[in-house]
Chain A
Amino acid sequence: NAGVTQTPKFQVLKTGQSMTLQCAQDMNHNSMYWYRQDPGMGLRLIYYSASEGTTDKGEVPNGYNVSRLNKREFSLRLESAAPSQTSVYFCASNRDRGETQYFGPGTRLLVL
């Protein structure tokens, strides 16, 4: 039982490059989330998926897209990376809204 896994752990991009961050959970959770955390700051919700087949914008969705591929997997795509997207990205999941969220180990992204 791995919980929430994320790949890659680290990534360096040049401005304008694209990439997809992968997230998977093996807890049969319905809801999944993508957050970013900038140095010394709190978590900000980018996108979430309340259930398979649905996605919704969070607080800071601009510059990102998501796909809920199936119940297990929720990916985050940066189409044209910008230095302002340098951050640590956390994926999380929970059984249902309002319940405890379980986080992946994070992806550290540097955009030059």
Chain B
Amino acid sequence: RKEVEQDPGPFNVPEGATVAFNCTYSNSASQSFFWYRQDCRKEPKLLMSVYSSGNEDGRFTAQLNRASQYISLLIRDSKLSDSATYLCVVNPSLGNAGKSTFGDGTTLTVKP
């Protein structure tokens, strides 16, 4: 079983739709979590951190469920420009320096 698993998709949604992605992780001691966005042939860029209490940034909402060991990303009112691959990142407990684990990504295509 992979340490971090994402549904690869692709998710094809119309503009204005709400879409949600989940990411499960296996290490219950994981400390910090992020969502990154990667456009085709470009470097990954931070979308948002994921806090225990959940956090929102405009149309994007990230949540963490430690009991079930998953994080989620909700995108409301999808725009064409949201088309990208979304990567979840899980960071280890202290003492395991540097070994962040990236999911393989979920591809989203937003269509007119």
Residues of chain A whose beta carbon lies under 8 Å from any beta carbon of chain B = 31, 33, 35, 41-43, 45, 48-50, 56, 58, 88, 90, 97-106
Chain A residues contacting B43 (CB-CB under 8 Å) are 90, 103-106
Chain A residues contacting B105 (CB-CB under 8 Å) are 42
Known: A43-B87, A90-B43, A90-B44. A101 touches B104 (CB 8 A): no
Measured between alpha carbons, how far is A85 from B20 in the docked complex, in Å?
34
Chain B residues contacting A102 (CB-CB under 8 Å) are 46
17 intermolecular pairs with C-beta atoms under 8 Å apart: A35-B102, A43-B44, A43-B87, A45-B98, A50-B97, A90-B44, A97-B92, A97-B98, A98-B32, A98-B94, A98-B100, A99-B32, A100-B34, A100-B46, A101-B46, A103-B45, A105-B43
A2 to chain B, nearest CB (A): 13
Instruction: Judge whether B91 is part of the interface by a CB distance below 8 angstroms.
Output: yes
Chain A residues contacting B44 (CB-CB under 8 Å) are 43, 90, 103
Chain A residues contacting B45 (CB-CB under 8 Å) are 103
**B104 and A42 contact, CB distance less than 8 A:** yes
**A50 and B98 contact, CB distance less than 8 A:** yes
**B102 and A43 contact, CB distance less than 8 A:** yes
B99 to chain A, nearest CB (A): 7
Chain B residues contacting A101 (CB-CB under 8 Å) are 46, 89, 100
Residues of chain B whose beta carbon lies under 8 Å from any beta carbon of chain A = 31-32, 34, 41-46, 49, 87, 89, 91-92, 94, 96-100, 102-105
Chain A CB count within 10 A is highest, among B31, B42, B44, B49, for: B44
A37 to chain B, nearest CB (A): 9
B66 to chain A, nearest CB (A): 16
Closest chain A residue, CB of each to CB of B95: A97
Chain B residues contacting A105 (CB-CB under 8 Å) are 42-43
Measured between alpha carbons, how far is A48 from B97 in the docked complex, in Å?
9
